[in-house]
Amino acid sequence: MSSATAGDLLITVAPTGAETTKEDCPQLPTTLEELVDTAKRCQAAGAAMIHVHIRDAEHKPTLDLGRLKATVDALHEQTDLVVQLSTGGSVHDPLDKRLKVLDAQPDSCSLTMGTTNFGDDVFSNPWPFITELYQLTQERQVVPEFELFDLGHVHALHRLLDKYGPPYGGRVHCDLVMNVPGGMPGTTDALVAAVTALPDAVTSWSATGIGRSTLNVILASLSKGGHLRVGMEDVLTLARRVPVEHNEQLVSRAAEIGRMAQRTPMTPDEARELLAIKPR
Ligand code: KMH
Ligand code: ZN
């Protein structure tokens, strides 16, 4: 008889992103060593999946395949986390390089369901790119996480699943990325509208609120039965003028709020089952 409570809250950590510079934020994990150390500490604090963007020797965002492979291998060797590589990269990455990310053989990858204004930039995700990337995930048996920045992206997800069928593994997991300047706001109303419009095929979803919407989105997601993504990709302060010193703080806070809502952080193994990740 097991006394452990089964986890029912997936916490994904997005520790680095592609937007913040090391100069502006020296505590951002940008080297492989920093990333692995962060991953270990975040797993201990309750994270079960890691959403990864990597940097080069100058701490600039890169999609270098050798570095991506080394990162996936190191995270697999030194943690149990589900390893999700970003196929979004930075707004400057070309589409062909973003497709090559799957060559690094992650467990999961992000797949954004439409183009969105991204501050002063444009995060480009044309429909032919979406369908090519999706079919590649099916072929390579990589579980996609559909990133939804806007209500229109939810509509596009219906279209994708209708036309190309379910993802590898048969589960459909989404992440609402809220409050990007150009996307849907990080409000409870927007979250409810997006969740209400999700396809019936969706089996799990998480939400993340960029910047100061982070806490509101955590609370809204929990109250609607969703999972959580947190990390320094999305927010750099714990409160007004209180910088995040380590991603672990954001994961611990999410786990604590989750427990208050009587949700138990999932283990990486439980997350693998939830998302139907291919066994390695
Ligand atoms: N860095 C953004 C332009 C993803 O990882 O798939 C895209 C992004 C989404 O972060
Ligand atoms: Zn990302």
Burial of residue 170 (number of CB atoms within 10 Å: 0-12, 13-18, 19+): exposed
Each residue of 64-81: pLDDT tens digit?
Answer: 999 999 999 999 999 999
Residue 110 has pLDDT above 80, yes or no: yes
Q: Which residue has the CA at smallest separation from atom 1 of ligand 1?
A: 90
Query: Which ligand is nearest the CA of 111, by number?
Result: 1
CA distance 67 to 61: 11
C-beta of 86 in contact with ligand 1 (< 6 A): yes
Ligand 1 centroid – CA 200 distance (Å) = 25
Ligand 2 centroid – CA 4 distance (Å) = 32
What residues sit around ligand 2, an ion, with C-beta below 5 angstroms? Answer: 86
Each residue of 244-261: pLDDT tens digit?
Answer: 999 999 999 999 999 999
Ligand 1 centroid – CA 89 distance (Å) = 5
C-beta of 248 in contact with ligand 1 (< 6 A): no
Each residue of 191-240: pLDDT tens digit?
Answer: 999 999 999 999 999 999 999 999 999 999 999 999 999 999 999 999 99
**What pLDDT, on a 0 to 100 scale, did the predictor assign at position 5?**
79
C-beta of 149 in contact with ligand 1 (< 6 A): no
Q: What does pLDDT average to over the chain?
A: 98
Each residue of 21-64: pLDDT tens digit?
Answer: 999 999 999 999 999 999 999 999 999 999 999 999 999 999 99
CA distance 249 to 139: 37
CA distance 257 to 265: 10
pTM of the entire structure?
Answer: 0.98
At 268, list the tokens: 């990486």
Query: Amino acid identity, residue 256?
Result: E
Ligand 1 centroid – CA 232 distance (Å) = 13
Residue 1 has pLDDT above 70, yes or no: no
State the average pLDDT over residues 168-180: 98
Atom of ligand 1 nearest to the CA of 111: 6
| % of the chain at pLDDT higher than 70 | 99
CA 222 vs CA 19, 130, 161, 231, 246: distances in Å: 27, 29, 26, 17, 23
Residue 3 has pLDDT above 60, yes or no: no
Site of tokens 């949700």: 263
